[in-house]
Amino acid sequence: MLKNICVAVVVLTWTIPTYTPAAEPTKNVAIWPELAPGETTRDVGTPLPGRESDKPPITRVEKITCPTMDVFPASEPNGTAMLILPGGGFGYVVPDLEGSEAALWLNDLGITAFVLRYRTTTQKSGPRWQRPLQDSQRALRLIRSQADRWSIDPDQVGLLGFSAGGQVATIHITQTDDAYTAVDDVDLQSFRPDFALLIYPWQIMDSQSDGLIAPIEITNQTPPAFIVHTDDDRSTSLGAVMVYAGLKKNNVSAELHVYQNGGHGYGTRSRSGSAIGTWKDRGTEWLRIRGLATQN
């Protein structure tokens, strides 16, 4: 049944009425008008069985070949938009812990949020971040192309990435070239975000060269970033430090927080014995100082 949903959504995506601020998200908004690049199926994915250890529950969706967005309009939008890339190690996407929960935090700040269910790993060749990067570029363009519908300023569109989504987001903000061939007028829009939040970006350090992985090339055109990691994360915080240092060397505004503990995969939640749950407060301050979040 799920395999048929995306086909219907593709038709509706281009004819939906103007969005009005609401508490309930608009789900399953397809980002490609036809098949996504290199795909032969339109599958919005299959939820994996829940884990008893997940309290509160965590959703994991695998086998996505038709990427979609869940749209969370702010009740009082201030013009800022955020595209959220959840984690999941590229094998699945976590749309709540690292998606909707962050979206509701952003909504309280007047920011309209878009949670991207990007394609999970199905190809047998090429880097695992490649197809999610295509989806991220396309989604950001789609947001800008329909800015009026969502009460968005096209010059205030940011990118928030967690874990594997943080790896994709880090690559995305440093790219100047298209990751795919244009398919329609949506692709006339810029895919470049205006700012970024990188939350425990996963494996962005190249252990062989002790530098950042090859696709990441920071320049003075890279947007400002807010970066969070923990010292005890097995996906080393050194990568986050290198991103901060690269931005600093290029005179790009950035803020880095490395907490002493908290591990990996906490999303916006607190963890016992750690201060990691306060990172949202620091992120709120960063957004407000930059004029991107509503002042209370």
Q: How confident is the model at residue 55 (pLDDT cuts 50, 70, 90)?
A: confident
Q: In the numeric block, which tokens belong to residue 181? A: 């061939």
Sequence-separated (6 or more) residues with CB below 8 Å from residue 271: 262, 263, 277
Q: Are 55 and 16 in contact (CB under 8 A)?
A: no
Mean per-residue pLDDT for 14-19?
32
pLDDT at 121: 82
- Is-cis flag, bond preceding 215, omega within 30? no
pLDDT at 124: 62
Percentage with pLDDT > 90 across the chain: 84
Comparing 5-19, 32-46, 257-271, which segment has the lowest mean pLDDT? 5-19
Give, as one character, the DSSP assignment of residue 188.
G
- What CATH number belongs to 2-17+25-289? 3.40.50.1820
Residue 17: pLDDT over 50: no
**Average pLDDT value over all residues in the chain:** 91
Residue 12: pLDDT over 50: no
Q: Which pTM does this prediction carry? A: 0.91
**Model pLDDT for residues 142-176, shown as the tens digit of each residue:** 999 999 999 999 999 999 999 999 999 999 999 99
Q: In the numeric block, which tokens belong to residue 167? A: 């790896």
Alpha carbon distance 79, 158 (integer Å): 11
Alpha carbon distance 18, 3 (integer Å): 27
Tokens 């829940």 correspond to what residue?
50
Residue 113: pLDDT over 90: yes
Comparing 9-13, 71-75, 85-89, 181-185, which segment has the lowest mean pLDDT? 9-13
Q: How confident is the model at residue 119 (pLDDT cuts 50, 70, 90)?
A: very high
**Model pLDDT for residues 22-40, shown as the tens digit of each residue:** 447 898 899 999 999 999 9
Angle at 198 between CA 196 and CA 199, to 5 degrees: 145
Written as one letter, the residue type at 190 is S
Q: In the numeric block, which tokens belong to residue 178? A: 């298209």
